[in-house]
Structure 1
Amino acid sequence: MPKKSAIKTSLFAAEEREQKLDRKGDLLSTLNQHVNFVALAAEIDHIAPRPSDKRGGRPPYPTELMVRVLVLQHLYNLSDEALEYQLLDRLSFQRFCGLRHSSTIPDANTLWVFRERISAAGGADALFDAVQRQLQQHGFIARGGQIVDATLVEAPKQHFHKEEKALLEQAATPAGWTPAQRRQKDTEASWTKKHGKSYHGYKLSISADRKYKLIRKRHISTAKEHDTNHFEAVLDRANTSRDVWADKGYEDQSREQRLNQGSWRLHIQHKAKKGKPQSDCQKRRNTRIARPRARVEHVFGSICAMGGKAIRSIGLARAVFGLSIKATVYNLRRLCSLREGGVVPI
């Protein structure tokens, strides 16, 4: 007598798999539930209208679909080619984008063209601000004070000859570079050292509210720019509290005095001066600041898990776009965590 097979066939297998995904808590289903992608697409259409299809050819994909694809790319840290493959192969991606019964999907080139078009029109700012409005609509306004910090984001390392470096420092391009080299050389990323280790790339500075750990402001610069230069650029003046926490890298007595006079309450750790060790009082103060300040490390940990500590693009403009979208997607993911965790806005 033949043994029974553990594999069962069903005409409703696809629907049964989708139901099982829902029971297991599919993140993409949760995003569908809590995020208004129609509103996000409307913001993009406002600043960068879809190209006209009057000249014939394949009509452009709906903006909402492309925004969803962009979210997927940054949520799972996928290249354009890898994302195209996953859209063809992965059930949850197809369902999230509404492509379950579509005979075509956006390819790598389509995504690149969409990203370049909206980047030139300020799409990163539009999406980040639109998500901020949705956070407020859910009741998650910035409260509890804010934490300012920065993290290094590595870019592909570049190798230049001594003569090339001299020209680049003068904002000139070496005459011997071919058009391909001009496209592939990142002349804007810079080197810096942290804890004795060298890094090449850019820097993401953020302000996250202490209550919900949502990114409220962000600024992207080259790696060599000091964190303290962007302190006020990321200061969130909409937070209900005037408390600000930061580590010793942001210590600046003149600025602290000026902001304290402007009703801000700055909690910035003090550096130990050369030849003058910190007093017990200063150590206790730094320890008190360390606990609330550490909440921002959870934010950077989540961004790192989404591949946000390295980029594949070349140039500051693309780094600004990519890291801004990464911060936006982090906020969407955090919104789902707060809603699914039963956090009730106060």
Structure 2
Amino acid sequence: MSQISFSDAEQAGKRKKTRREVFLGEMEVVVPWKALLKVIEPHYPVAGRGRRPYPLEAMLRVHLMQNWFALSDPAMEEALYEIASLRTFAELDLAAIPDETTILNFRHLLEANDLAEDILKTVNAHLARKGLLLKRGSIVDATIIAAPSSTKNAEGGRDPEMHQTRKGKQWHFGMKAHIAVDADSGLVHTVTTTAANESDVEQIGDLLHGKEQDVWADSGYRGAQRRVTRDDRHWHIAGRPSDMAKLPEGRAKQRLRKQEYRKASVRAKVEHPFRVIKWQFGLVKVRFRGLAKNTAHVVTLFALSNLWMARKKLMAMVGVVRLQMA
């Protein structure tokens, strides 16, 4: 066992817990570590004649922190050297910190084997076993994730897999993340991605899991019923504001407003995962070039957003009192 460093000893002796430490303490409890390791282990290199690989669990922990804190590969390496709480969470010490290339290679391993989708499925299976993912109804929506529009780069052009689209009176360049969430819990059960100019309604068939009895969506999904094989679901598609404005004032319009309000109150749950990945996990712009790499990143973030949104219930189930800031 390696000797503890002075910085780690000082970290262990301090009284006040930072927000980062509180967050990592919660994630330590709610992440299904054994299940995730089982997904990745068949693809991870084993010790042989070459350089001994870092422990798989340490690399998984580093990868999750990289996603939680929006760190690049070089920034993640530096953070492990500088921040004792990150080293503690990764179960590493200063004598054995993975360099940026090792961190990059681990991410590439997950991308090459399409493991982001398996990570989401594993997290959701864990949540379903806990009774937090019920699948009685689905809410669908999409968000635009911006990509750099500058051509001042090594390729001399914009990412050819990203496109521009108009929303309202504004133009956006990037990709779209399409999600379906559980209507009871607001947790994401399915994710697809496209270029920003793709129509939302085109993804409806890939987003629904088939077991739901009700589907909620905004007015951009009008006609979605005709794009799926099952037509016995109850569809709650928002009306167009322009159609509402054309109606004369009266009881009929008031009834319609109440119906639209009820639809909107359910649909609001789909906005929570978007808020988490953009503001909690810092996805302001796409991190990589190409749709495949960014899809792996986005899917992983939605898996982690599910754990973050369900953390209080998960911690209560294992009898853990939520960590309090001093």
Q: Which residue is 2:163 aligned to?
A: 190
* Aligned-partner SS, 1:181: coil
TM-score by length of structure 2 reads 0.84
The equivalent of 2:231 in structure 1 is: 262
Matched to 2:111, the amino acid is S
Label 1:251 to 1:130 Cα distance change in 2 as closer, same or farther (>3 A). same
Matched to 1:131, the amino acid is V
The whole-number CA distance in structure 2 between the counterparts of 1:311 and 1:275 is: 36
Note the C-alpha offset of 1:217: 0.5
Which residue is 1:78 aligned to?
Answer: 71
Q: Measure, in 1, the Cα distance between the counterparts of 2:243 and 2:233.
A: 29
Q: What TM-score do the two structures reach when normalised by structure 1?
A: 0.79
Q: Which has the larger radius of gyration?
A: 1
- Rounded Cα–Cα distance in structure 2 between residues aligned with 1:228 and 1:257: 10
Aligned residues: 308
Matched, 1:31 2:43: no
CA distance in 2, matches of 1:246, 1:342: 32
Partner of 2:292: 317
The match for 1:49 is 44
Read off the aligned partner of 1:328 and give its amino acid letter. Answer: A
Q: Distance in 2 between matches of 1:55 and 1:245?
A: 55
Distance 1:327 1:125 in 2: 10
> SS in structure 1 opposite 2:258?
helix
> How far does residue 244 in structure 1 lie from its aligned partner after superposition?
1.2
Q: In structure 1, what is the Cα distance between the partners aligned to 2:160 and 2:142?
A: 22
Cα drift, residue 74 of structure 1: 1.2
Alpha-carbon distance, 1:199 to partner: 0.9
Is residue 207 of structure 2 the alignment partner of residue 234 of structure 1?
yes
Q: Partners in 1 of 2:295 and 2:169 — Cα distance? A: 26
Higher mean alpha-carbon deviation, 229-238 vs 205-214, is at 229-238
Aligned partners of 1:316, 1:41: CA distance in 2, in Å?
26
1:238: Cα distance to partner?
Answer: 4.2
Instruction: Report SS of the residue matched to 1:231.
Output: helix
Q: Which residue of 2 aligns with 1:148?
A: 140
For 1:1-346, list aligned pairs within 5 A.
Answer: 13-17=10-14, 20-21=16-17, 26-46=22-42, 48-50=43-45, 52-56=46-50, 58-99=51-92, 101-143=93-135, 145-159=137-151, 180-181=154-155, 185-239=158-212, 242-252=213-223, 255-256=224-225, 262-271=231-240, 277-278=246-247, 280=253, 281-305=255-279, 306-340=281-315
Q: 1:138: Cα distance to partner?
A: 2.1
DSSP-derived class of the 1:310 partner: coil
Distance 1:214 1:271, change over 3 A: same
- Separation in 2, partners of 1:259, 1:112: 39
Gaps of at least 5 residues in structure 2 are 1-5, 320-326
Unaligned residue ranges in structure 1 (runs of 5+): 1-8, 161-177
Shift of 1:309: 4.0
**CA-atom RMSD in angstroms:** 3.1
Equivalents in 1 of 2:202, 2:227: separation in Å? 15
Aligned-pair identity in percent equals 28
